[in-house]
Structure 1
């Protein structure tokens, strides 16, 4: 296989070169191009990905160049909707996602769920990580508030993580989490003399997912599983009035 030539008009030069996992001069195989297409699709930057080998332009060594033409997708995605739950009550949902913030491919996503008894706000900033394993560096913050007949809960969480695709079946996410939480429970249906408790947790976490199906788009048979390991590094619990 010859050189891979990316044709696009926005992102920095050579940003996508690490996605070409084979060495120039290696044997030609359509599966290599399929994997490149899959990696580019997962980035969610493009509306059209056109990969064309050029055998008519092969050099004297028989190396076939590959042209990759990339057309950017719409930059911003807006979402809005209504919700209702027996526990949360009526509410509204909205969000804004920037597929790419800059020419280095950074992303940002903010989602708000505002219901009568439950409210959450989550925002994340993602940086593409192509070296070693296809994935992302993610920095996220979330706030959550729940006020029901039996619980009064509020928390704030910060997350720094690195995700990666180990192979065609395994993906993993390693993260460091910081959680600040305040809660109290009701006795019956009233918070009579209920005491607030607060806690601060800092802990690492590893999540691994396994998926093996006959067809990723329309699976008929397969197997999947997930495992989560976390370790508490620090914990402070304070009862209060």
Structure 2
């Protein structure tokens, strides 16, 4: 609650898109509604999972913000496994203890998460990213790339050569940050702030980098490197 109260929303980002907030805490619900409305979105709310699922079945929404701590999450997870084009993208509000169950199953570009207690700026950033990926600007010819590594920031997809990389949202944000700063060393603190919007223990960052490295560097040359004592960088090392 305090983190929500102490942050002011940025200038309007939305264009009247409809967002459904499904959170069982009335205080957090009210703050999210006010903030998202100030950011330019139309917002509806539900205080239970059952009410949220009924609203999704009845009305059209461009994005759903869903509290992963709701007791009927498992039923909702089963119900959301329909074609992405037939349902809105999802932004989960998740506690740290539920990430190991939630994150591996997320569909990149259609689902994302923020960690509770949530920060308004992070909610706005993730919501904007999901809405943009859903269908905003048309794709551009020039995509961020380094060698045979290419990122499509409109579809939230990455590939290495002809091989598609199956990345979680956190892995994609890490790769996106490394690529944007190619051949520059990024500290663990910089990476943590970009990926999660807050500082995380070094062990969490090391595990995330290790998972991404296994996917990106499946073939030579390796692109993700460690500068011991300093951080990580992306690029081809000099021969």
- Using the size of structure 2 for normalisation, the TM-score is 0.24
Point out the structure with the larger helix share.
2
- Using the size of structure 1 for normalisation, the TM-score is 0.24
Larger relative contact order (Cα-Cα within 8 Å, sequence gap ≥ 6)? 2
